[in-house]
Amino acid sequence: MGEASLRAIERLIFDYAERIDRGDLDGIAELLADARVAVGDGPPQAQGRDAVRELYRRSVRIHADGTPRTQHLTTNLLIEVDEEAGTAHARAYFTVLQGLGGFPLQIVVAGRYRDRFARVGSTWRFAERRIFLDHVGDLSRHLHPGAPGS
């Protein structure tokens, strides 16, 4: 398994956390432009750049500072790459912290990512992101009502 492929996939996973915490929904849409995005085992809620951007716009509360006021921590990362096929799978845990005025810093949700990747030319891309919400706290300041998982 190539070290370069592992690092590229790891970077995609960590870029997601950074972009969502910055409130960069266009960046999330670009990162997941080739992917199906789903919460749990059900059908995808979005596929393609525009649909992903709209899903996150409708789901994530962006506060006055332009961010969701979150910190996504991604841990327990395990990546399996098939270099010959140009595919990969990854699994990881995530924990989301949130704090803002009148809402002290706390864990609002924890769960798992189950991701699939495809190599397009020499570039790795998300092919699928499944988000499993295992422990749900107060998401009222992070997700809009009716958002998947809210």
Average pLDDT over residues 36-62: 96
pLDDT at residue number 147: 81
Cβ contacts of residue 147 below 8 Å, gap of 6+?
58, 59, 60
Calpha distance 33→79 (Å, rounded)? 21
Q: What is the pTM of this model?
A: 0.94
Residue among 43, 58, 63 nearest 146 (CA): 58
Residue 32: is its pLDDT beyond 80? yes
- The CB-based long-range contact list for 26-34 (8 Å cut-off, 24+ gap) reads 26/53, 28/52, 28/53, 28/56, 29/53, 29/56, 31/126, 32/126, 32/129, 33/125, 34/118, 34/120, 34/125, 34/126, 34/127
Structural contact between residues 116 and 44, judged by C-beta atoms closer than 8 angstroms: no
Q: How confident is the model at residue 145 (pLDDT cuts 50, 70, 90)?
A: confident
Q: How confident is the model at residue 125 (pLDDT cuts 50, 70, 90)?
A: very high
Residue among 72, 95, 85 nearest 124 (CA): 85
Residue 1: is its pLDDT beyond 60? no
Q: How confident is the model at residue 2 (pLDDT cuts 50, 70, 90)?
A: confident
